[in-house]
Structure formats: C-alpha cells, structure tokens
C-alpha cells in the first residue's frame, strides 16, 4: 500500500461481549435465579436459551430488572489500552444489536470508562449492522456475534471476530478470528500503521 495517512481510521465496535462482559453477568444472574451452575464458556447458544428456555419477553424482563447491575461489569482485558493507543488516529463508532431502550445504559457505561465514541447506534433502527457499517465507511469492525459478523463482512467491511464458543462454525474471507484485544491490536497495527494509506 502507498505510504500516506490521509484520514483517521474509522473503527466499528459491537458493544456486548466485545467491549463489556455482558454475557458473564447474564449467566451469573440466570444461575442465581434458576439455582443452576452453568459456566458462560459452556453456553454455545448466543441467546442463552438453553438450559433456561427463556422467551424473548422473559429475557427482556430480566435485563430490564437488572440493567444497572449488569453494567457493573468491567471492560474486556486489553480494551482500554488498545483504544487509547488508537485514539490519536481513529474514531470509534458503536453499532449494537441492542434495541433503542438499552442504549442509554451502554452510553453510561462508555462514559464511566472514558471511552470516546462518535455515536452509539442500534442496528435495528439503522437497517442492520452491514448497511450501517457501509454507510459509515468503516475500515473494519470488531464483533463477537456470528450472524452480525457475516452481515457486516458480506456488506464489504472487514471484521475481526472475537473467538467465542457460540461462533465456531463461522468462516468468511473478510472475517479474521482473533483471541482477544491484544491480538486485535497486533493485527491492526501491522495492517494499518500510522503511515499506511487509508482510502479517502
């Protein structure tokens, strides 16, 4: 690639289980409510329907009731350092699968951890993560959900997919599987160095 830096990187971020340990909080709550002892890493169903068999309405009610507690979860390991490292040459855009009603708690969490975000967008309200990522002209997106990662990649935006038990069957030429935020930082810094061209 030519050596010039004509604009900042535009980085897309999922929220739940990409920035914050939402899943761990939900599994702990479900174990407490149902007197079970399920480990988060053993849940291969993204929506946590097994073994608790929650309806969408029951899940939403649980989330609403415990929303403040869920957001006491810390950032993923390496996240804050990585975003701070990129901040001088990047802007960050959160596109989440959350409905609009759960965006305020996500925004509050981001502010609490001093993560500077351009916007927090609900994918449903934006017509999907793929179209939103394309419309924002993101250079890449960081995601954990298999279906969303496929949608974003199919729309033409490269995806770094955090390796999770519930996304093991996913494969796409624009999707790169990563172990954690330290791995993402290494790959991004190697691909998008400060002197690497970013298309205008």
Question: Residue 66: which residues within 8 A CB-CB, separation 6 or more?
Answer: 25, 29
Instruction: Report pLDDT for 1.
Output: 26
Instruction: Report pLDDT for 200.
Output: 43
Instruction: Report pLDDT for 46.
Output: 81
pLDDT at 62 over 90: yes
Instruction: Report pLDDT for 119.
Output: 96
Q: Is the dihedral of CA 47, 76, 191, 157 positive or negative?
A: positive
Question: Residue 77: which residues within 8 A CB-CB, separation 6 or more?
Answer: 180, 181, 182
The full 3-state SS of 151-188, as one line of letters, equals HHHHCCCCEEEECCHHHCCCCCCCEEEECCHHHHHHHH
pLDDT band with cut points at 50, 70 and 90 for residue 43? confident
CB 192, CB 1: distance < 8 Å: no
Instruction: Report pLDDT for 195.
Output: 45
pLDDT band with cut points at 50, 70 and 90 for residue 123? very high
What DSSP assignment string belongs to the chain? --B---S-EEEEE--BTTTB-HHHHHHHHHHHHHT----GGG--STT--TTT---HHHHHHHHHHTHHHHTTPPBPTTHHHHHHHHGGGEEEEEEESS-GGGHHHHHHHHHHTT---SEEEETTTTT-HHHHHHHTT-SEEEE--HHHHHHHHHTT--EEEE--GGGTT---TTEEEESSHHHHHHHHHHHS-TTB----
Instruction: Report pLDDT for 90.
Output: 96
Q: Residue 182: beta bridge partners?
A: none
CB 52, CB 42: distance < 8 Å: no
Q: What is the mean pLDDT of residues 100-105?
A: 97
Instruction: Report pLDDT for 193.
Output: 66
pTM (2 decimals)? 0.90
Q: What is the mean pLDDT of residues 51-68?
A: 91
């Amino acid at each position: 690639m030519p050596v010039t830096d004509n604009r900042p990187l535009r980085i897309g971020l999922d929220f739940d289980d990409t920035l914050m340990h939402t899943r761990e909080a939900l599994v702990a709550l479900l174990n407490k409510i149902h007197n079970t002892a399920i480990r988060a890493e053993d849940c291969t169903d993204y929506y946590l329907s097994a073994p608790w068999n929650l309806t969408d309405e029951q899940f939403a009610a649980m989330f609403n009731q415990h929303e403040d507690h869920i957001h006491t979860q810390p950032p993923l390991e390496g996240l804050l350092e990585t975003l701070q490292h990129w901040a001088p040459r990047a802007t960050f855009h959160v596109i989440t699968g959350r409905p609009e009603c759960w965006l305020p708690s996500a925004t509050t969490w981001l502010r609490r951890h001093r993560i500077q975000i351009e916007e927090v967008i609900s994918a449903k309200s934006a017509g999907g993560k793929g179209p939103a990522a394309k419309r924002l002209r993101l250079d890449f997106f960081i995601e954990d959900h298999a279906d969303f990662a496929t949608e974003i990649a199919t729309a033409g935006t490269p995806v770094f997919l955090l390796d999770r038990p519930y996304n093991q069957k996913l494969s796409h030429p624009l999707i790169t599987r990563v172990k954690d935020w330290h791995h993402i930082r290494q790959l991004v810094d190697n691909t998008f160095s400060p002197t690497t061209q970013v298309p205008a």
